Amino acid sequence: MMENRGKTSPHRLQQAQSRLSRTASLEGRPGIVLLDRDLPALETVARSRPSAISLIHGLEREGRVRRVRRGVYVLVDSSGSIRVGALDLVAALTPSPYLVSGGRALQFHELTDQHFRRLQVLVAAPQRPWSWRGDEVIYVRTARKLKGRAARTRRTRARVATPERALVDCLSHPHWGVTLGQVVEALDKMLARDPAAADALAAETADSGSHATARRFGFLVSFLAGEGAARPFLLLRGASKASTPLQAGGPATGPVDSTWRLRENVDLERLLQHREVG
């Protein structure tokens, strides 16, 4: 081994970085190093596991890799740029099945202008949270079906929830940080793109099994696109006569819509502010 005052030679570091880059690309996760999988490839350069780990530390000291969490690194290119984003890391680190949902999914589908720094990732088994460059990845356990709910896209390797699934999740979990106004804006944009999307949303709502969510979406779809578009939600309202608040946790005041058994406890005009120009 060629060492200079305890530092690994630049040539060997370049060899190691090139080998890691090639291995990561062949594994379908460009720029992302997983030590438990990639160390064997690095050992062909280092000739031993301890030396391979030393090379990783040398690359980190020289700013050629950045640590995400224990055993996970991203490669820094020759210009000093990092081309790996949170969705790339989710795809590399999260066992299937999973779904990226919540506000980040709405953002991905261009249904909101807001940027959400927290990613809710639906999983069947517990996973530890992590963060990357200001984005926080939170794993949320769910008993609902995850397979077959991902959007078809070539823009990312990550499994991103369909717009309908993301909307249902956001409305059902207001503590995720997506406001009712943001849900209404996303719903309005989705219906404007494809009026038939209300049917897919009703099917997703039915799968959630929540009568409260069905009442809220039925009311909102009727408000935004007319009673005809909201018809699929009528059979999902449930038998309870008690009124459901439009905004969960909001005031217990406001008129009750008899069709949807829903209390209008927010100013409806405020929910349409996204339509204002200028």
CB neighbour list of residue 116: distance below 8 Å, 6 or more residues apart: 102, 103, 104, 106, 107, 177, 178
Token output for 262: 């829903």
Q: How many whole angstroms from its chain centre is CA 198?
A: 22
Per-residue confidence (pLDDT) for residue 6, from 0 to 100:
52
* pTM, entire model: 0.91
| Per-residue pLDDT in tens (0 to 9) along the chain, 278 residues | 444 445 678 899 999 999 999 999 999 999 999 999 999 999 988 889 999 999 999 999 999 999 999 999 999 998 999 999 999 999 999 999 999 999 999 999 999 999 999 999 999 999 999 999 999 999 999 999 998 889 999 999 999 999 999 999 999 999 999 999 999 999 999 999 998 999 999 999 999 999 999 999 999 999 999 999 999 999 999 999 999 999 999 999 999 999 999 999 999 999 999 988 54
Over residues 211-231, the pLDDT tens digits come to 999 999 999 999 999 999 999
Any idea which residue has 């999902």 for tokens?
236
Q: How far apart are CA 71 and CA 84, in angstroms?
A: 16
**Parallel, antiparallel or unpaired: strands 118-123 and 98-101:** antiparallel
Per-residue confidence (pLDDT) for residue 4, from 0 to 100:
42
Q: Which domains does the chain have, with CATH numbers?
A: 3-84 (1.10.10), 87-275 (no CATH)
